[in-house]
C-alpha cells in the first residue's frame, strides 16, 4: 500500500458503520507496526477524543506485538547479545528507544573508567578498582528510595538516573567489566542477583553490586542458602545465561507492576516472559523477589 492508501484506510477507523470500522482495525493490525507513524499523524490531526483514544490503544497494541516478536526472535537466536535483550524489554515502555544509543551510552561510561582498571592487577584488586570507578567516578548506586519502581528494570532509565535494583546494576557493571576484559558473569541466587568472577584456572569469587561491590566466597553462598532452608543447586554458584538474565528482569518488572496494582501491565509482561520461557526453566516466581 502507498501512503495515500494507508491514510485513506486509517481515516475509516472513525467510520459510522461499525462493521467497516472493525474491518479496518483488523486490516491495520495485520499490516503491523509499519503503520504506527501514520496512526500517530492521524492522532495529531484529530480533535475527536474518542477517536484519539482508539488510535492510542491501537498504537499500544501494535507496539506491544512488536516487542513480543522481537523478544521471540532474540530468544530463538540464542540470546547472544544481552544488551539487545534488555533493550527489547525497555521498548515495552519506551518504544522509540534506540539500541545504538544504548551502545553509545555504555561506551561513554567505559571510556571514562577503562584506564582506572588495569588488566595486569590481581583479580580482587581489579574488582576493587572497578568498584571505585563504578560507584565513585560514575556515581551508580542502589535505588533504595524507589526499590519497587518499574524504572529499575529499564536499562535506559538506570543509565540515565544511575540508580537501579540488584540485577540492573549488576548488568551494567558486568557489561562494562566484559569490555575491559574481565571474566565476570551473572549468578541467579534466590531473592538476590549477584556476579561471579570466574577464570578458567579455577579462580572464582562473587560480587554483590547492590552492596557497592562487596566481594564474597562460595562459603558465604553456602551460608546464605542454608539460612533460606534450600538445598544447594549449581545455579546458585555458576554463571547464568543472557536469556536467564532477561527472564529475571521481566519477573522483576511483573512484580513492580503488581506493587502498583496495574494488572493489565502484569498480564502483558507475563506474556513477554512466556515468549522467552521454556517449560521447567528457572526457579519458581516466588523465589525471585524484586532483586
% the chain with pLDDT above 70: 95
Predicted local distance difference test score (pLDDT) of residue 21: 80
pLDDT, the chain, mean: 90
Q: Which three cell numbers stand for residue 138?
A: 560514575
DSSP 8-state symbol, 132:
I
Q: What is the pLDDT of residues 175-215, one digit of tens each?
A: 999 999 999 999 999 999 999 999 998 899 999 999 999 99
204, 218 in Cβ contact below 8 A?
A: yes
Going 30 to 31 to 35 to 36, the CA torsion angle's sign is positive
Q: What is the pLDDT of residues 20-78, one digit of tens each?
A: 888 888 888 888 878 888 888 877 877 778 878 888 888 899 999 999 999 999 999 99
Residue scoring higher pLDDT (32 or 115): 115
Q: What is the pLDDT of residues 142-173, one digit of tens each?
A: 998 888 899 999 999 999 999 999 999 999 99
Q: Which three cell numbers stand for residue 20?
A: 467497516
Q: What is the pLDDT of residues 3-23, one digit of tens each?
A: 788 888 887 777 777 888 888
Please state the pTM of the whole predicted model.
0.87
Q: Which three cell numbers stand for residue 120?
A: 595486569
CA dihedral 110→116→119→125, nearest 10 degrees, is -120
For 206, the enclosing helix (H) or strand (E) is strand 204-208
Amino acid at each position: 500500500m502507498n501512503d495515500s492508501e494507508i491514510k485513506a484506510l486509517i481515516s475509516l477507523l472513525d467510520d459510522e458503520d461499525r462493521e467497516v470500522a472493525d474491518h479496518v482495525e483488523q486490516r491495520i493490525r495485520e499490516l503491523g507496526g509499519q503503520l504506527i507513524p501514520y496512526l500517530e499523524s492521524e492522532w495529531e490531526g484529530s480533535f475527536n477524543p474518542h477517536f484519539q483514544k482508539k488510535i492510542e490503544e491501537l498504537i499500544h497494541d501494535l507496539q506491544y506485538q512488536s516487542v513480543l516478536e522481537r523478544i521471540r526472535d532474540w530468544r530463538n537466536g540464542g540470546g547472544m547479545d544481552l544488551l539487545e535483550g534488555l533493550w527489547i524489554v525497555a521498548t515495552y515502555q519506551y518504544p522509540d528507544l534506540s539500541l545504538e544509543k544504548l551502545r553509545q551510552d555504555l561506551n561513554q561510561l567505559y571510556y571514562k573508567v577503562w584506564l582506572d582498571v588495569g588488566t595486569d592487577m590481581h583479580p580482587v584488586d581489579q574488582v576493587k578498582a572497578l568498584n571505585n570507578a563504578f560507584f565513585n567516578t560514575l556515581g551508580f548506586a542502589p535505588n533504595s528510595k524507589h526499590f519497587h519502581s518499574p524504572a529499575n528494570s529499564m536499562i535506559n532509565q538506570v543509565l540515565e538516573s544511575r540508580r537501579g535494583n540488584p540485577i540492573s546494576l549488576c548488568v551494567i557493571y558486568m557489561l562494562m567489566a566484559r569490555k575491559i576484559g574481565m571474566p565476570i558473569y551473572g549468578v541467579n541466587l534466590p531473592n538476590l542477583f549477584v556476579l561471579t568472577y570466574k577464570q578458567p584456572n579455577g579462580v572464582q569469587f562473587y560480587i554483590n553490586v547492590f552492596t557497592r561491590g562487596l566481594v564474597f566466597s562460595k562459603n558465604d553462598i553456602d551460608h546464605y542458602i542454608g539460612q533460606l532452608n534450600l538445598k544447594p543447586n549449581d545455579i546458585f554458584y555458576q554463571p547464568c545465561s543472557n536469556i536467564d538474565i532477561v527472564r529475571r528482569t521481566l519477573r522483576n518488572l511483573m512484580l513492580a507492576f503488581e506493587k502498583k496494582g496495574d494488572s493489565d501491565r502484569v498480564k502483558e509482561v507475563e506474556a513477554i516472559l512466556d515468549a522467552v520461557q521454556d517449560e521447567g526453566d528457572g526457579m519458581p516466581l516466588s523465589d525471585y523477589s524484586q532483586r
